[in-house]
Amino acid sequence: MSTARSTANIALIKYWGNRNNELRLPAADSLSMTLDTPHVQVLGEEADQFSIESFEADGSRKILTKQQIERLRKHRELTMQYLHTLDIDFRKNVALTIRSQIPSGIGLASSAAVFSAIAEVFAGLIAEEHPLTREQISVIARLGSGSAARSVFGGFVALRNRATSNEQTSNGEIAGAFAEQIAPESHWVLHDIVIVPSLKEKKIGSTEGHALAGTSPLFQDRLKEIPRRMQECTDAILTKDFEKLQRVAEEDALDMHEVMRTSTPSLQYLSEETWHIIREVEALRTRDHLEVLYTMDAGPTVHLFCTEDAREVVRSFANEQKGCTVFETKIGRGSELV
């Protein structure tokens, strides 16, 4: 039996588009901050057959869709395939129980938390005979959700897209992207004040969205910009230069949303409310010289990253937004066995 806990992460340099959709090998690097709450707990036990039970934050049973069950099955199959490349014969059937503390509709994608916790559970079940490295656990997490690879580490984390020399073989390819820590959570305590304008489920999930990225005429230009942005973002984090972090993170988030908007079909995740909040944050930042930046994933939710000093003002600002749900979290330590 093995139990793990994990959380979501929010990207400062976004992952959007794959070079291999099935293996969730990203087209470029990305960089995020792991959050400390809310968490997901996954328990895995050896069983006669593979099964999944899932529970909501309030303890009620969650009925998984066919698509969700298929994604979890596929993840287990790819994990077996990957472990086989490490000469590990993982034939165990596992009964998984997923307990999520992430309220649905708060704009925090739970897939990163779920798949990093499952990766941790699979690794936990074979730890005695075959201890895996954090990097290898991040590969397993990535096979379920690309961004989940980053939740395996705490603090600031990069997902490196490493096309290996044996890329032509399936063995080399499956491990061709994994996460690494840029700086631990103690390095720089940043907060994330989350403003959720709409509780409606997004229409097109990121799995389908990634597959459309290449249809945008802006996608190739985006890929060219990522190495510079990764460098600037890493430097800003290591030197704790908030202004530099703000410039590069906002540039990248808006660029990703332009790629989404110009893809076929067009993906418009940002709403009128999102743009209204962005404009207000920009005005507030100029007026009060606040260390706050905005970023948005595949939905209208606005994440306001800020320093400890700016937190009170940003929190009041968030609570003034009419009709919005506000949620507060900060930098966290990533997935672990409990």
Residues that bind ligand PMV (CB under 6 A): 11, 14-16, 30, 109, 111-112, 145-147, 206-207, 210, 297-298
Nearer to ligand PMV, 253 or 310 (CB): 253
- Least gap, CB of 216 to ligand PMV (angstroms): 14
Instruction: Give the nearest distance from C-beta 181 to ligand PMV in angstroms.
Output: 16
Q: Residue 6 or residue 111: which is nearer to ligand PMV going by CB?
A: 111
User: What would the 3-class secondary structure string for the chain be?
Assistant: CEEEEEEEEEEEECCCCEEECCCCEECCCEEEEEEEEEEEEEEEEECCCCEEEEECCCCCECCCCHHHHHHHHHHHHHHHHHHHHCCCCCCCCEEEEEEECCCCCCCCCCHHHHHHHHHHHHHHHHCCCCCCCHHHHHHHHHCCCHHHHHHHCCCEEEEEECCCCCCCCHHHHHCCEEEEEEECCCCCCCEEEEEECCCCCCCCCHHHHHHHHHHCCCHHHHHHHHHHHHHHHHHHHHCCCHHHHHHHHHHHHHHHHHHHHCCCCCCCCCCHHHHHHHHHHHHHHHHHCCCEEEECCCCCCEEEEECHHHHHHHHHHHHHCCCCEEEEEEECCCCEEC
Task: Select 206 or 234, whichever has its Cβ closest to ligand PMV.
Answer: 206
We find the least distance from the C-beta atom of residue 63 to ligand PMV, in angstroms, to be 21
| Minimum CB distance to ligand PMV smaller for 43 or for 114 | 114
Min dist. Cβ of residue 30 to ligand PMV (A):
5
Q: How far is the CB of 147 from ligand PMV (least distance, A)?
A: 3
Residue among 11 and 132 whose Cβ is closer to ligand PMV: 11
